[in-house]
Structure 1
Amino acid sequence: MSGRVFRRAGGSAARPVGPVGAALSGLTAQQLSRRSFFGATAVGALGVVGGLGLAGGSDFLAPTRARAAGNLPITVINNSGAYDNGNVFIHVVGTLITTGQQGHVDQSGAFIPASLADNTEADGSAVYGFPLSDWGTVSLPEPISGRLYISLGKRLPFKVVGTDAGPGIAHPAGWVESDPSFGILYDSFEFTHQNGAMYCNSTQVDMFSVPIGIHLQGAGDQRAGFINPGARGAFFDKLRNTEGFSNLVVDDRRVIAPSHGIGAGRFSGNYFDGYIGESWDRYSSAEMHVSTGTAQYSLRRDGDALVAYQDGAERVRFDRPSTADVLFCNGNLAAPNDGVRGPIAAILGAALNRSTMRDFTEQPTTDAAQFYQQPITNHYAAATHAAHSDGRAYGFAFDDVSAFASYIEDGAASSVELTIEPL
């Protein structure tokens, strides 16, 4: 199996942009976001993606309003129009935050630690999915960080593998042709549920396939991930007709993110190189001003590095990234939880994906009308935002910079409703 193995919850990166929430049992809200609990936990063949933080504010994180700890109901509504509930499969897998154990959630709402004995199928896979017609409402325990996968027409194969830290779960990798999930129509919803709080998002960081809308209720009433009518088909058509991106489209099943497209031979590993060079050259004669929300930096080029200065002193330098670094938000743009490199790397990564870095010396740019306007840009990410009714999406791992990601949170969550939108 070619899937990723996720080992632990609570990432290594901090949220540098915008407001942050309160500490929750030793893990801050910053550590529970999409990029930290997935990007920073992958130890499989794809390596560590890295990343940081929360998109959106902390209005609903007040612990004084938190409900009593316990299971959270998640209702799945099937509006696919193509599959009945008996052919919609729900799989809930993740990591228990208190112990670091990986496992799955069963139909009773219990967290079951992964075991090599789970691989009971003839192909060596584990059965973690159940038909929507049998499951009804998912009861999500806590404290857990993970994913709820929805597959259509067929159950997803997972596999438990041994790691130095104990049994790990290899997740589907639908962008890898040799992976058993490649021929299955599926997508996922990402979450961290702890102390009555819910942090969650839809994601297109890996691929765009089955649109899943999120309705989170509790102290607030929030929605994310819903797409415009007909937007799925329009998204596929847009990428089919965009030079350099057409090979990312896999029939009517999914569009693979360009980051994964490089390894799959579907996307050029040099795509961004020219724009990266132009952006680096700009700051040989100009100065970039970066605000992380808590600090201000001036960036200038020194040799082949972009150097961040604060009060005249050098703080950190960034070697020129590759196209893969830009798309994966990794390598020379990795964002560790150090309060300096991480926040700046996120802003630079967002500026390169959105093609604003060369022409805008004040970063991060916050006017979405300026994003994706250059011929060389992340057209995949641009199309994900155009497809969503509120313009928010997770088209790349740093898409939460300036709060453009499809992320919502509630510190007193009472219910979640997931809607499989029409295919």
Structure 2
Amino acid sequence: MITRRRALGLAAGAAAGIGTGLAFGSARASEDSPRAAAGLPLTISNKTGEYANASIWVYIVGNDGKQQVRVTPEGELKPVSLSDNGSDGFTDYAIPLSGSGDTTLTLPFMSGRIYTALGDKLKFKAVEDGNGAAALAYPAGWVESDPNYAVLHDCAEFTYKDTGMFCNTTMVDMFSVPMAIHLTGAKDQTTGTLRDGARAKIFSDIAAQDGFGKLVIDDRRIIAPGHGMDAGLFAKDYLAPYIDEVWSAYESKDLVVTTNAGKFTGRVSGGKLSFTGPGTVSFDKPSTRDVLFCDGTLAAPNDQITGPVAAILGAGFNRTTLHDQAAQPSTDPATFYGTELTHHYAKVMHEASEDGKAYGFAFDDVASFASYIEDGAPQRITLTLTPF
């Protein structure tokens, strides 16, 4: 299963409120498969129509498997250092765009995020993690006290290694800047492209949806409902009635979840949803927060048994297909988000995209509905900031 949920262990970033993980791929290259070359051309294309190149900055930050790193304008991979903090207490890892036209950079092997900041620079702070190593406090646009709260910014996620490029656009934490990824190599692929005028429609549709309006922060961003809940902007029990319905339904009938390991058959008994099959798995009833973050009782370890079942349950809850479809995962998008009480944030994101794919929640990769692409022999990647 392709997933963004295999976390990099960015301890400082997690403490600052960064999302559940960064893009990874489960694809395995055979001995005869082409190997990706170190140093992938990365093009940043400004098609916003609102901001000139001189008002946009790029940041490439992440992990090389040993330490937290950042990429310089020259394409060098450098470790994060506490000494990188300037007199204002923050690093300046900004990469300016070219004076005009597209900007071409070089991407080394690493896993991370490509942040774009429009109108002002971002403030990344180098800190010590729990092990005393240098780490970065990432922007948390959903936290009002964060130093980057007023800055218009967004990011794409990737893992680039010798087995290929694995990348996605994401709205898991928030949505602000529309962007698309074009990946060329063994194939020619694009994801993340929004329909014409979609940014404005996303803002208006979510603002009009009962219970979601407070997530819209001016014309700057929309905070994902999980983070909105933590900020007091979204009801903590929003999905509770639906979760109760699901739990009640499977006290008297089977829920069948099919993964690569086989079929798991589950029933609710004694307050737990317990499965038998290739392995024995059980789950306590999740809270709204567990569902929105795909965590807590729905945490998905990187194994072949519990993790895949948890991911499918998380997707079924967020897409509100779990109650009516006893065979999961559901794969017909026409049946997703069909209930009045549903994850309207994710629904709107999918409706706005040209290919119907988006990362509206962390398990959106289930049944391949995430804005994710990969290539085992990449030649170039282009990140386009698309029209507002």
Deviations 1:323-372 (A, max 9, x none): 00000000000001232111110000000000011111000000000000
Quick check: 1:50–1:336 contact (8 Å CA) kept in 2? no
- Identity across aligned pairs (percent)? 46
CA gap 1:289/1:51 in 2 versus in 1, 3 angstroms: farther
Deviations 1:56-80 (A, max 9, x none): xx5x956634255320011011011
1:310 is displaced (CA, Å) by 1.5
Q: Which runs of 4+ in 1 moved over 6 A?
A: 50-53
Letter in 1 for 2:157: E
TM-score, structure 2 as length reference: 0.94
Q: 2-side partners of 1:45 and 1:414: how far apart?
A: 34
Q: Who is 1:74 aligned against? A: 42
1:399 is displaced (CA, Å) by 0.2
Q: Who is 2:317 aligned against? A: 352
Quick check: 2:7–2:22 contact (8 Å CA) kept in 1? no
CA gap 1:43/1:79 in 2 versus in 1, 3 angstroms: closer
Deviations 1:174-209 (A, max 9, x none): 000000111111110101010151000000000111
Find 1:150's aligned residue among 116, 128, 145: 116
Find 2:67's aligned residue among 88, 93, 101: 101
Find 2:55's aligned residue among 78, 81, 87: 87
User: Is the counterpart of residue 280 in structure 1 residue 251 in structure 2?
Assistant: no
Q: Who is 2:374 aligned against? A: 409
Q: 1-side partners of 2:59 and 2:94: how far apart?
A: 4
Letter in 2 for 1:96: D
Structure 1 vs Structure 2 CA RMSD = 2.1
Q: 2-side partners of 1:66 and 1:413: how far apart?
A: 9
**SS state at 2:264 partner:** strand
Q: 1-side partners of 2:353 and 2:18: how far apart?
A: 29
Quick check: 2:24–2:167 contact (8 Å CA) kept in 1? no
Find 1:44's aligned residue among 5, 15, 26: 15
Deviations 1:16-36 (A, max 9, x none): xxxxxxxxxxxxxx5xx4221
Q: 2-side partners of 1:421 and 1:51: how far apart?
A: 22
- Unaligned runs of 5+ residues in structure 2 are none
Q: Who is 1:336 aligned against? A: 301
Q: 2-side partners of 1:307 and 1:52: how far apart?
A: 30
Q: Who is 2:169 aligned against? A: 202
Find 1:366's aligned residue among 331, 351, 365: 331
Q: 1-side partners of 2:111 and 2:119: how far apart?
A: 26
1:421 is displaced (CA, Å) by 0.7
Q: 2-side partners of 1:181 and 1:46: how far apart?
A: 12
CA gap 1:39/1:118 in 2 versus in 1, 3 angstroms: closer
Deviations 1:240-287 (A, max 9, x none): 000000000001111100010011111011001110000000001111
User: Is the counterpart of residue 141 in structure 1 residue 108 in structure 2?
Assistant: yes
CA gap 1:300/1:164 in 2 versus in 1, 3 angstroms: same
State how 1:8-407 maps to structure 2 within 5 Å: 15=1, 33-37=3-7, 43-46=14-17, 49=20, 64-67=32-35, 69-97=37-65, 100-122=66-88, 124-133=89-98, 136-142=103-109, 144-165=110-131, 166-195=133-162, 197-310=164-277, 315-407=280-372
Quick check: 1:202–1:225 contact (8 Å CA) kept in 2? yes
Q: 1-side partners of 2:255 and 2:91: how far apart?
A: 51
1:418 is displaced (CA, Å) by 1.0
Q: 1-side partners of 2:289 and 2:31: how far apart?
A: 40
1:133 is displaced (CA, Å) by 2.1
Letter in 2 for 1:344: V
Q: 1-side partners of 2:108 and 2:358: how far apart?
A: 26
Quick check: 1:73–1:414 contact (8 Å CA) kept in 2? yes
Quick check: 1:39–1:51 contact (8 Å CA) kept in 2? no
Question: What is the count of residue pairs matched by the alignment?
Answer: 384
